[in-house]
Structure 1
Amino acid sequence: MSDWGPVVIGLVLFVLLSPGLLVQLPGRHHLVEFGNLKTSAVSIVVHSIIYFALITLFVIVIGVHITTGD
Structure 2
Amino acid sequence: MKDWASPIIATALFAFLSPGVIFQLPGRHNPVDFMNMKTSWISILVHSIIFGLLLLLCVVILHAHLYV
TM (norm. structure 1) is 0.96
Tell me how many residue pairs correspond in the alignment: 68
Unaligned runs of 5+ in 1: none
Unaligned runs of 5+ in 2: none
Runs (4+) off by over 6 Å: none
1:2-47 C-alpha deviation (Å, 9 max, x unpaired)? 1000000000000000000000000000000000000000000000
Structure (1 or 2) with the larger CA radius of gyration: 1
| Alpha-carbon shift at residue 57 of structure 1 (Å) | 0.4
**Structure whose residues are more often strand by fraction:** 1
| Identical-residue share of aligned pairs (%) | 49
Name the residue aligned to 1:4. Answer: 4
* 1:13-32 pair list within 5 angstroms: 13-32=13-32
Q: C-alpha distance in 1, partners of 2:14/2:52? A: 10
Q: CA RMSD in A?
A: 0.3
Name the residue aligned to 2:64. Answer: 64
TM (norm. structure 2) is 0.99
Q: C-alpha distance in 1, partners of 2:6/2:45? A: 22
Name the residue aligned to 2:54. Answer: 54
Q: C-alpha distance in 2, partners of 1:52/1:42? A: 15
Q: C-alpha distance in 2, partners of 1:63/1:7? A: 13
